[in-house]
Structures are given as structure tokens and as C-alpha cells.
Amino acid sequence: MNTFPKDFIWGTATSAYQIEGAASKDGKGPSIWDAFVTIPGKIKNAESGNVACDHYHRFKEDVQLMKKMGVNAYRFSISWSRIMPTGKDEINEKGIEFYSNLIDTLLVAGIEPWVTLYHWDLPLTLQLEEDGWLGKTISDRFADYANLCFERFGGRVTKWITLNEPWVAAMLGHGQGVFAPGRTSNTEPYLAAHHMILAHAKAVKLYREKYGFQNGKIGIANNCDWREPLTKSKQDQEAAVRALEFFLGWFADPVYKGDYPKSMRERLGKRLPKFTEQEHQLIKGSSDFFGLNHYTTMYASHDDGVTSEGNVYGNGGISEDQDVSLSLDPNWEYTTMNWAVVPWGCQKMLEWIAERYGNPDIYITENGCSYSDEVINGAVNDYKRVAFFKGYLTACKKAIDNGVKLRGYFAWSFMDNFEWASGYEKRFGMHYVNFKTLERIPKSSAEWYAETIANNGVLDN
Ligand code: GAL
């Protein structure tokens, strides 16, 4: 058996818009996702998160299911516009009450809440009136909102994640336009990202200065897929590093080193905003742990003729800025997102982070897979998902054995949910959700995870 360190955190994760539903209930204001889903053609089958898993009304049942799995932590996000309907000034006490009850229910069940402040659902008012992440006011708005969360939930909550995957919000939201707010540009992603980094850092400063007595920890969850050099050539090896720098280094370098990677500065010139001296100080060291969302791997090779057509893999970045071509191995196993299942990529990713960022405490804040699960005789045998988790957790263990300080793992996702532009067709959950009746059915993977947690390790068989 692959036994994990004894204080290893075994968790599971979700996000507000993907599961809560109750999109306009009890005073919640609209978010950019509430608006985005109404644009024809943006979401598969024109679906939305209006009802989603109806977690807003069923959270007690959900916490009981989590308890059954034996997780020690649950990562969820707060919908900003549920507690501040316009993103500023006015507070919606009904929204506060919902999260307060959820937190208390988790604590009673012995599950530690890990709270993400921003998982992409920006209050619509801030988008319309202040230009969202492109505007100058956003980082202070975010810090004010974070302050409200620390004030009301802090103490009971001691693990905070400022932003979820700013790469996605910047690239898919402001570059490719496939996620809210649906903008397409090759400059705006860099500006939006710049403001996200500042927003993160301001919230962290405030938390440390004003709420330090709560003895909590705060960090950011960045996403990155592994990039393996296609050949052993120096050019491809450099291309793979460059691809990682444009993906993860874009956000993690500022947080750990105080500035963007040199490769980005060189290639992007004026399109990459600059931090002032004061901002360098503010952002450097602004994370107590390294949050990583990791899903897949691709090959990278040097290519100075990359065009945006033909090279949009969704997880690739603005390829023409990087001079990197991405490719796949047809022999790999693929999920229904067409993401390759490559556990060794996860190990390499963790080791790369440890090496580049001074061996920080790392938490995998998301890892998982979508398969087209089916209920047969009341059960869902998702053996492919079990194999996925087994493979990735075994890779995690190898990284730990090699000295990586991986402290915890959050399986994405606790239950099937609204998978953004893919709607409900893609199922990532360890619990099956029937989106007509809203019934939840534990899949085989939930049972497997429970067993793994009980053993504090992955069984070999
Ligand atoms: C992440 C995201 C999650 C979930 C997952 C699977 O990028 O944070 O919300 O959708 O991917 O696609």
C-alpha cells in the first residue's frame, strides 16, 4: 500500500455557480455567469446553473454524503453576489446566513471548510459599471469583499483561497471568449490577470494584518497542466519550460518571486503590464501554500510559426505569444473532456513546482476526470474514474517520496455539476446527480475514495 503522511488532508471540492442553484433567490444579485449563460450558443444545450444541484437547499444532505466518504476537508466557493448583490456596499444577510449554516454543518460533521473567495462568478454590476477585471477599481472591491468574508466567517474558517484559476478567468474569459465575460482579445487577458494578482495580494495583506489573530492560512489556486518536451532537443526543452511559464509562472512567479517570468516580459513587451516597486513588495510572498489544480498533460515543441487557428486546445494559452506547439499522444487514455490521463505528468508537475518555488507546502486543490457515467440497477460503476484517481494519487505519493511537500488533495468533484460551457453533459463527480430529480447516488469512486481515506493510502490491488 502507498501510505500517505499521517496529517495528509483528504478533501473534495466544488464551486458556487456549479452546484448551488437558487440563482436569484433570497436577495442574491446576478453574476457574470448568470448573464453569460443567456447568450445563445455559449453553453451546450443552452443549459445554466439556475438550479444546478440545488445545493443551496440540499447542503445538509450533501455534507452527510461527504461525511460518509470520510473526507477531512471540503473546498467550496462563496458567490460574491449572493452576499454582496452588486459586489459593493450593500450586504445580503440571507446570503451570509446560507454560508454560515453550511460552515457550521461542516464543522459539526468534522469536515474543515476550505473557502475559495472567487471561482469566476463576478457580480454583474461590477462588470457593467466598472469593467470587471479590466477596471482599475476591481482589486480594492475584491479586498472589501474578502474583508466581509474574513469578518463573518473567519475563525470558523481558517483556510482561504483567494482566486480559483486566474489563468482560466483571464484566458477563457478575456482571450478566447468561451467563458464569462466572453471577451476576445490578445491584450486583455494580461491586463485582467494583472488586476487579479493585485486583488489576490491586497486580500492577503488585509487578512494577515487585520485577521492574523485567527491563525489561518491563505493562498491562491492556480491551474497548470504538465508540458513535456516533445523531443530531447534543447529547443523543445526550452519550449516546454516556456509553456509552463506562460501557464503557471504567469501567476506563481509574481506570488513567489515578485514579478512575471522573463520569457513573458521578452515576448509580450508592452502588452504585459508592469508592477510598481510597491506592488512588487505587496505580491511577493503573498501565499502561505501553493494551491494547484491539475488535470492533464501535453507535449510541447518549439514552433515560431504558431497561429491562433489550429492551436486552440483550450488549455494551451495564447500559443502564438509563446512560439510553442502542443500535441498529444494518441495512445494515451482520454476522458470525455478529451483530456489525456497521464499520471506521470502530475508527478513531474509537482516536482517542477517544488524545484522552482523553493519547495513550498503544496495542496492539489483540484484533480479529477469526466466520464459518461450511467446508472445501472441503481448504481454507477465508474471504474475508469477509480483508475484515474488511483493513478494520480500514486503519482502524488511518488512526488512525496522524492521530497515534494504535498500536504493534501482535493478530488474534483464531490458531485456532478454544471460544467461551464459544457453544461451538464460532462460528469466529474464522485456522486452521480440526476439533474431531473436531483437525486444523488454515490459512484464506485466515492466508495473507493472512502476506503483510500480510511487507509490513509492507495491500496495496490
Ligand atoms: C477547473 C475548474 C472547475 C471545474 C474543473 C473541470 O478548471 O476550476 O470549476 O470545472 O476545471 O473542468
The CB density around residue 394, as the number of other CB atoms within 10 Å, is: 17
Predicted confidence band of residue 1 (pLDDT cuts 50, 70, 90)? confident
Tell me if 272 sits within 8 A of 262, measured CB to CB.
Answer: no
Q: Please name the residue whose Cα sits nearest to atom 10 of ligand 1.
A: 419
The tens digit of pLDDT for each residue in 240-280 reads 999 999 999 999 999 999 999 999 999 999 999 999 999 99
Ligand 1 binding pocket includes 366 (Cβ within 6 Å): yes
Using alpha carbons, list the distances in angstroms from residue 276 to 58, 198, 219, 231, 251.
46, 11, 22, 39, 16
Predicted confidence band of residue 461 (pLDDT cuts 50, 70, 90)? low
* Helix (H/G/I), strand (E/B), else coil: 324: strand
The two beta strands, 406-412 and 9-13, are parallel
Tell me, in angstroms, the distance from the centre of ligand 1 to residue 25's CA.
24
Cell numbers at residue 157, please? 474558517
Tell me, in angstroms, the distance from the centre of ligand 1 to residue 87's CA.
23
Ligand 1 binding pocket includes 165 (Cβ within 6 Å): yes
The two beta strands, 457-458 and 2-3, are antiparallel
Q: Which of 345, 328, 260 is nearest to 294 (CA)?
A: 345
Q: Please name the residue whose Cα sits nearest to atom 9 of ligand 1.
A: 15
Percentage of the residues of the chain whose pLDDT score is greater than 90 = 93
DSSP state of 452: H
With the most atoms of ligand 1 within 8 angstroms of its CB, the residue from 43, 163, 225, 293 to mutate is 293
The tens digit of pLDDT for each residue in 23-38 reads 999 999 999 999 999 9
Ligand 1 binding pocket includes 419 (Cβ within 6 Å): yes
Could you confirm whether 277 is annotated as catalytic? no
Q: Would you state the torsion angle of the CA atoms of residues 194, 209, 13, 424, taken in this order, to the nearest 10 degrees?
A: -40
Tell me, in angstroms, the distance from the centre of ligand 1 to residue 164's CA.
9
Tell me, in angstroms, the distance from the centre of ligand 1 to residue 168's CA.
9
Could you confirm whether 366 is annotated as catalytic? yes
- Supply the DSSP string of 118-153, one letter for each residue: ESS--BHHHHHHH-GGGSSSHHHHHHHHHHHHHHHH
CA 29 to chain centre: 23
Ligand 1 binding pocket includes 433 (Cβ within 6 Å): no
Whole-prediction pTM value? 0.97
- Who's near 90: CB < 8 A, 6+ residues apart? 84
Q: Please name the residue whose Cα sits nearest to atom 12 of ligand 1.
A: 419
Q: Write the single-letter amino acid at 48.
A: S
Q: Give yes or no for residue 307 having a pLDDT over 70.
A: no
Read off the pLDDT of each residue in 383-403 and give the average, rounded to a whole number: 98
* Helix (H/G/I), strand (E/B), else coil: 230: coil
* Mean pLDDT of the chain, nearest integer: 96
Ligand 1 binding pocket includes 48 (Cβ within 6 Å): no
Ligand 1 binding pocket includes 168 (Cβ within 6 Å): yes
Q: Which of 318, 252, 293 is nearest to 165 (CA)?
A: 293
Q: Write the single-letter amino acid at 448.
A: W
Q: Give yes or no for residue 40 having a pLDDT over 90.
A: yes
Helices then strands, counting H and E runs in the chain, come out as 17, 17
* Opening angle at CA 372, ends 16 and 387, nearest 5: 90
With the most atoms of ligand 1 within 8 angstroms of its CB, the residue from 366, 385, 410, 428 to mutate is 366
Predicted confidence band of residue 314 (pLDDT cuts 50, 70, 90)? very low
Predicted confidence band of residue 459 (pLDDT cuts 50, 70, 90)? confident
In the numeric block, the cell 477596471 is attached to 135
Predicted confidence band of residue 423 (pLDDT cuts 50, 70, 90)? very high
- Length of the chain equals 461
Q: Which atom of ligand 1 is nearest to the CA of 164?
A: 8
Q: Give yes or no for residue 77 having a pLDDT over 80.
A: yes
* Helix (H/G/I), strand (E/B), else coil: 90: coil
Phi, psi values for residue 138, rounded to 5°: -60, -40
Q: Give yes or no for residue 222 having a pLDDT over 60.
A: yes
- Who's near 426: CB < 8 A, 6+ residues apart? 336, 337, 370, 419
In the numeric block, the cell 487507509 is attached to 455
User: Which neighbouring-strand residues pair with 443?
Assistant: 380
Q: Give yes or no for residue 315 having a pLDDT over 50.
A: no
**In the prediction, which pLDDT does 342 show?**
98
Tell me, in angstroms, the distance from the centre of ligand 1 to residue 367's CA.
9
Tell me, in angstroms, the distance from the centre of ligand 1 to residue 128's CA.
25
**Cα–Cα distance, 234 to 236 (Å, whole number):** 6
Ligand 1 binding pocket includes 199 (Cβ within 6 Å): no
The tens digit of pLDDT for each residue in 316-375 reads 446 678 989 999 999 999 999 999 999 999 999 999 999 999 999 999 999 999 999 999
With the most atoms of ligand 1 within 8 angstroms of its CB, the residue from 47, 121, 367, 412 to mutate is 412
Tell me if 392 sits within 8 A of 406, measured CB to CB.
Answer: no
Domains of the chain: 9-454 (3.20.20.80)
Ligand 1 binding pocket includes 412 (Cβ within 6 Å): yes
Q: Write the single-letter amino acid at 193.
A: A
Phi, psi values for residue 402, rounded to 5°: -90, 10
